A and B are shown apart, each in its own frame.
Chain A
Amino acid sequence: MNAKRKKLIYNSVTFGLVILTYVLCSVFYKDMSRALRGQLIPICCWIVMAVSLNLVVGISGELSLGHAGFMSIGAFTGIILSGWMQKGFLIEDETLRLVLAIVGGGLLAGIFGFLIGIPVLRLRGDYLAIVTLAFGEIIRNVLNCVYISVEEGGGLHFGFIQPNLPGTLLLNGPNGAVSVAKISTFLCGFILVMLALIVVLNLMNSRTGRAIMATRDNRIAAESVGINVTKYKMTAFVTAAALAGMAGALFGLNYSTLIPGKFKFDQSINVLVFVVMGGIGNTLGSVISATVLTILPEMLRDFADYRMLLYAVLLILMMLLTNTPVTRAFFGNIRGMLTRRGPQEHVEANRGTGKGGGAK
């Protein structure tokens, strides 16, 4: 089987599924329940978060636990930019504001990704995870005491731990952003998901992506063939941070209020759960699991207090079930059919390579 064709099929299936889902959602938009409709934009955000975290965890092989931190940077940057444009410069065009907010959120999150990456990427393994976790918390705690207001004419005022600023408050410390103009659209979310997929999938099949994967698979060998490991780890980290920032801006502009406490450590873990459930390094898997796992807790709302308990049990069940030989064979058959080869042959080929690997 040609490896290139395999990649092509995988990419087309990924894009095809996302486009199909978008078309279906647009067509049946009126028939959807209000709760589900409200979930569409957050789902897009979480898909982008999962795909971007997959770039760090799956493709560059570093466990980052502070991804929600970048999301919150993007969210509050987006909210402030949007509010600034609306109240300071009286720009009423919502699409323009949304696009600029998302670009700004992505840029600032990318810059923070770079700054945080400098010390963090010197570490490896568990230490890197701990430090990224700490950075996520630092970002949240700093945002908790930042006050920003805007005056007519475009003057911005900053303040730490003192809310008496002139003009309209955009960011009110621990109370977060209030009376935000909800300007996020599902279309924009869809475009953002496509953008994230294009960036990550195209990156994987390029010189840069191969270098990133090389640093993951064998750092010493990668250095020996002249790959600057820190540079490529940084590339992956900053790209992921920028994508998370963009998702954050879209997320923030979808609610009328947003507090920094929304982006706690458990949100980072949540995104990591999406990535692990979908299969580390598997972009399509991240997309699917982010979708399913965002809808699931909402559907469990009827169970009130037992919601998170059930969610945990379902997570464990899913992990167990998707790992049984029966389901594996089932997915193997589907893959076999997609690649236009008999399912049996596919299994044979797998066995063949397995044997070769053991020969030492």
Chain B
Amino acid sequence: MSETIRKRNQDTKMVPVPSTSIIPERDIDKMPVLECKHLGIDFGGLTAVEDFNLIIGKTEIAGLIGPNGAGKTTVFNLLTKVYEPTRGSVMINGIDMHGMDTVDASRHGIARTFQNIRLFSNMTVEDNVRIGLHNQVRYGMLTGILRLPGYWKKEREQHEKAMELLSLFGMQDMGDMQAGSLPYGAQRRLEIVRALATNPSLLLLDEPAAGMNPHETQELMDNIIKIRDQFQIAVMLIEHDMNLVMGICEGICVLNYGKIIAKGTAEEIQRNPVVIEAYLGKQNQAEAAEAGKEAPKA
């Protein structure tokens, strides 16, 4: 399966677009999902992210990598409006996100998972997905309390949708289990299912493969591509597992000290001396060339 992923990745052609960015060729006619311009945020005197420019195509799988503390999760928090940016703008599907809050960001199609899993761990797996469907299948409080006909209809609809989403990851039999009692890998998968339930156009995954074994990671890679193909959405992921990033990401963006130091395809990034320096520090030329092949895999 890994081979097919790699092959598929090679078929993708990245094309340059204005504002110094690249998106896959197939997305060039469509409106980009995300467009960040000169995005930046300061915490007191500390500049956490500066001049962050990025375009993500409609069905692109993009990677955001960088050493620890580079500001990757801060970027996610800026995109989901956990923080209000100090400078610059974010456009989601052509809509300026200025003044929105986290709830608005979700309604406009940004869904995310968390680095340290944040499930509703006291509730069942199915209820977790149903909460994700909160804004998709709606009915009022009184309908719920009085058990009007609409309640039964919508509850069935929620159940069917939840099961359909869970079956994507083969979790349809775990619906009644308590979310907190699931194995680690399943919890990560459930978080992705919950994010998908909000019907997003951009899915942000914060270290989706953390704590997974190589076999699970492989499965995750297949699933991310499957999700992209089936839902026709864009995926942006933060990950330290370079096999995953280099395997499925079409465009990769490298962040260091809050600034983008490189953008490009997997091959370009692997060869980029600035990236190698960021990961391994300054070395003499020979060593750098030697390490270059392996560097981001570290």
Interface residues of A (CB under 8 A from B): 1-4, 198-199, 202-203, 205-211, 213-214, 217-218, 220-228, 235, 353-354, 356-357, 359-360
A207 touches B139 (CB 8 A): yes
Contact of B134 among A2, A211, A357, A359 (CB under 8 A): A211
- Given contact pairs A3-B176, A214-B131, A224 touches B102 in the complex (Cβ within 8 A): yes
User: Which of chain B's residues have a CB closer than 8 A to the CB of A228?
Assistant: 103
Q: B154, A207: Cβ atoms under 8 Å?
A: yes
Q: How far is the CA of A206 from the CA of B180 in the complex (A)?
A: 21
Do B141 and A203 touch (CB < 8 A)?
Answer: yes
B138 CB–A CB distance under 8 Å: yes
Give 6 CB contacts A-B under 8 Å. Answer: A203-B145, A210-B134, A211-B134, A214-B131, A353-B178, A356-B183
Considering the chains assembled together, what is the distance between the CA atoms of A205 and B120 in angstroms? 15
Q: Which residues of B contact A (CB under 8 A)?
A: 80, 82, 101-103, 106-107, 111-112, 114, 118-124, 126-127, 130-132, 134-135, 137-141, 143-147, 151, 154, 158, 175-178, 180-184, 194-195, 197-198, 211
Known: A208-B141, A359-B183. A226 touches B198 (CB 8 A): yes
Q: Given A203-B141, A225-B194, list of 17 further CB < 8 A pairs?
A: A3-B124, A4-B176, A206-B141, A207-B138, A207-B139, A208-B144, A213-B123, A214-B131, A217-B120, A217-B122, A220-B118, A223-B106, A224-B102, A224-B114, A356-B181, A356-B183, A357-B180
Total CB contacts across the A-B interface at under 8 A: 113
**Is the Cβ of A202 less than 8 Å from the Cβ of B134?**
no
Q: Select which of A211, A214, A360 is within 8 A of B211 by beta carbon.
A: A360
Q: Are A218 and B118 in contact (CB under 8 A)?
A: yes
In the complex, how many angstroms separate the beta carbon of A342 from the nearest chain B beta carbon? 19
Closest to B142 in A: A208
A222 to B134, CA, bound (A): 10
Are B107 and A226 interface neighbours, CB within 8 A? yes
- Rounded to whole Å, the gap between the CB of B142 and the closest CB of chain A is 9
Residue of B nearest to A281 (CB): B122
Nearest A residue to B110, CB-CB: A224
Which A residue sits closest to B102, measured CB to CB?
Answer: A223
Q: Which residues of A contact B120 (CB under 8 A)?
A: 213-214, 217-218, 221-222
If A207-B138, A210-B127 touch, whether A224 touches B145 (CB-CB below 8 Å) is no
Cβ contacts under 8 Å, B106 to chain A: 223-226
Q: A218-B119, A353-B178, A356-B183 are in contact. Are A225 and B134 (CB under 8 A)?
A: yes
A27 CB to closest chain B CB, in angstroms? 30
Contacts of B175 in A (CB 8 A): 3
Q: How far is the CB of A335 from chain B (nearest CB, A)?
A: 15
**Does the CB pair A211–B131 fall under 8 Å?**
yes
Q: A202-B144, A220-B118, A353-B177 are in contact. Are A210 and B131 (CB under 8 A)?
A: yes
